[in-house]
Amino acid sequence: MVDTKVILSGIELSNPIIPASGTFGFGYEFAELYDINMLGTFSFKGTTKDARFGNPTPRIAECREGMINSVGLQNPGVHKVIEEELPKLKQCFSKPVMANVSGFSVEEYVYTCELLDKCPQVGWLEVNISCPNVHNGGMAFGTSADNAAQVVKAVKAVTTKPVYVKLSPNVTDIASIAVACEEAGADGISLINTLLGMKIDLKTKKPVVANKMGGFSGRAILPVAVRMVYQVYEAVKIPVIGMGGVARAEDVIEMMLAGATAVEVGAENLVNPYACRDIIEDLPRVMKKYGINKLTDIIGGAH
């Protein structure tokens, strides 16, 4: 028997597979298709302090080997998530869940994280710093090491649960931003978020997405994600969650060899709602094929 278990900041996962935020809702929608308790855990829909309607439509554009999205963090706001979404999730998911948090100021991150930190269902906080900083000319927190550290310090001051920082790949030196987060007290790093992309309709000769540009994700970005996970693993001592283009069990092994302790699956859930189930079921076969008895033995194995 192969051993698929991993430990993420003191919490044991039966396997490293985590559906990524924004592609799995609040879980109960997928629970109608299969038993989601087979997952390691999942990162629920990005949550902000206040309810958000999101960006104008159209928000999605299909591309070869991927997609562009500009949903704009549509969510009911943290109070509704705690009062309505988490109780519904509890009916179908018995494991600790990852709370994905976004904000438009340090104060918003602090407010939302402090509330979610008190929820017994929440095992980890995944802080998405790829959002615009409204106090600094709209620049994303994640594109500046100083801004990233500022968010981490403020969130760590009001939370007790492990804080993973989700980084944007749209930077020159992702390792230096990861190091800044680690020095500010982050318990782990999640990467990568989407790349900035665009698609133009040849008939209308206009961008397909109303926002003109959006986040490019899907199978095409796997090599970029693997490279960045590899770089960050070399730069920090805290755990790394890898994501970006993961679609098969083989991709999970590649991410873990690059340095990931756990692996998130994003766009593939929108192509195939059974993607995470299929990857988990196929992992033992792929492990045997490559002579892997225990997944924890291969973390960072390519270094």
> CA-CA distance, 167 to 181, in Å (whole number)?
10
Mean pLDDT to the nearest integer, 119-148: 88
Identify the pLDDT of residue 135: 77
In 3D space, the residue among 58, 60, 78 whose CA is nearest the CA of residue 69 turns out to be 60
215-270 residue pLDDT tens: 999 999 999 999 999 999 999 999 999 999 999 999 999 999 999 999 999 999 99
**For the chain, which residues make up each domain, given as ranges?**
6-54+70-198+216-298
Res. 138 pLDDT band, cuts 50 70 90: low
What's the number of CA atoms in the CB half-sphere (13 Å) around residue 232? 35
Q: Catalytic annotation on 119?
A: no
140-152 residue pLDDT tens: 899 999 999 999 9
Res. 281 pLDDT band, cuts 50 70 90: very high
- In this structure, the number of other CB atoms found within 10 A of the CB of residue 109 comes to 27
Q: Is residue 97 within 8 Å of 122, Cβ to Cβ? A: yes
Q: Which two tokens stand for residue 141?
A: 């927190």
The listed CATH number (3.40.50.1820, 3.40.50.10680, 3.20.20.70, 3.90.1300.10) that belongs to domain 6-54+70-198+216-298: 3.20.20.70
Alpha carbon 173 to chain centroid distance? 19
Q: Which of 113, 131, 181, 276 is catalytic?
A: 131
41-75 residue pLDDT tens: 999 999 999 999 999 999 999 999 999 999 999 99
